[in-house]
Amino acid sequence: MSDISELIDDLRAEWAVTDELVAHLRGAQWKLATPSVDWQIRDQIAHLATTDAAVFTACKFADTGAPTGPAEMAGKAIDPTVLGDSSARLTGRLPRPAVMGMWRGARNKLADELIAMDQQRKIAWFGNLVTPATMAKMRLMETWAHTVDISDTLGREPAASERLRHIAELAVANQRYSFEVNDLAPLDEHVRVELTLPGGEAWVAGPPHIHERIIGDALEFCLVAVKRRHPDDTELQAVGPAADRWLQVLQAFTGKPGPGREPRLQQ
């Protein structure tokens, strides 16, 4: 999908799923602990609000040449995990209507900015340069990942839609990086990915002649790629040692992966 407006439609749809999930939470529910260590539901939404606002600022400094200005400085000088954690905690202590209002305002401004931008410009984001289209996919991915945390907390199934293909694309593009960020040697072999999207459509990446491959459900693949499920708790098939090595470090995002989820006890 190359049309930025279609990507933004998907991003808005993902935001709407999250908004509907939390819009009517009150009191104790808003402060329920989520699987992310020391983060309550309010921290999850506050994190999305502050990050969408930060991305909007980065877009304003986007340039086709060498990145300059605050966006670049933040990208190279601050660990995004630390930034996200501290800002989310501060924002999350505001009243619930204020946090929700901040998030809705920030995300709408960001969506409008991504559409209006020259699509050849590059956004400096924590040491990386990404296009508006890639940034839209990254925001969709992060929104969905935090929504999984909230869904797990509320005892609901993770949202599954055809939009998962964007997260799968990021994970495939990140293959080499997923090894490097874990201080491991990247694969020498290519790995093909064969997934089934929620609607039954096949999603594949990589030439058909490749032997090494990961096969399975797109939802499970994406849950592993955002570190919300352990590979052992899925039915994903890793065909070949290279595919198995990649599945163990699979991630769709940049930055240190953290501990992730431990495998559930086998019954």
Q: What is the pLDDT of residue 83?
A: 53
Residue 204 β-bridge partners: 194
Does a structural domain hold residue 254? no
- 197: confidence class by pLDDT, cuts 50, 70, 90: very high
d(CA 96, CA 104): 12
Q: Which domain holds residue 221?
A: 164-249
Say what the pLDDT of residue 34 is: 96
Mean pLDDT of all residues belonging to the chain: 90
Residues 19 and 103 in one domain: yes
In the predicted structure, residue 70 carries a pLDDT above the cut 70: no
Residue 113 domain flag: yes
Sorted by sequence, the CB contacts under 8 Å of residue 37 that are 6+ apart come out as 259
Per-residue confidence (pLDDT) for residue 52, from 0 to 100: 96
Tell me: the pLDDT tens digits for 112-158? 999 999 999 999 998 889 999 999 999 999 999 999 999 999 999 99
Provide the pLDDT confidence category of residue 85 given band limits of 50, 70 and 90: low
Provide the number of structural domains found in the chain.
Answer: 2
Q: Tell me, what DSSP letter sits at residue 33? A: B
On whether both 131 and 169 belong to a single domain, the answer is no
pTM exceeding the 0.95 threshold for the entire prediction = no
How confident is the model at residue 86, as a pLDDT?
Answer: 63
127 and 29 in a common domain: yes
Residue 195 Rama label (left phi>0; alpha psi -120 to 50; beta) = beta
The H or E element spanning position 103 is helix 96-116
pLDDT grade for 222, boundaries at 50, 70 and 90: very high
**Are residues 64 and 130 both part of a single domain?**
yes
235: domain CATH number is 3.30.1050
* CA dist list (Å): 145 to 59, 71, 188: 22, 24, 29
122 and 188 inside one domain: no
Burial of 245 (0-12, 13-18, 19+ CB in 10 A): buried
169-191 pLDDT per residue, tens: 999 999 999 999 999 999 999 99
In this structure, the answer to whether residues 12 and 115 fall within a common structural domain is: yes
| Residue at 261 is within a domain | no
> What CATH number does residue 132 fall under?
1.20.120.450
Q: 97 and 47 in one domain?
A: yes
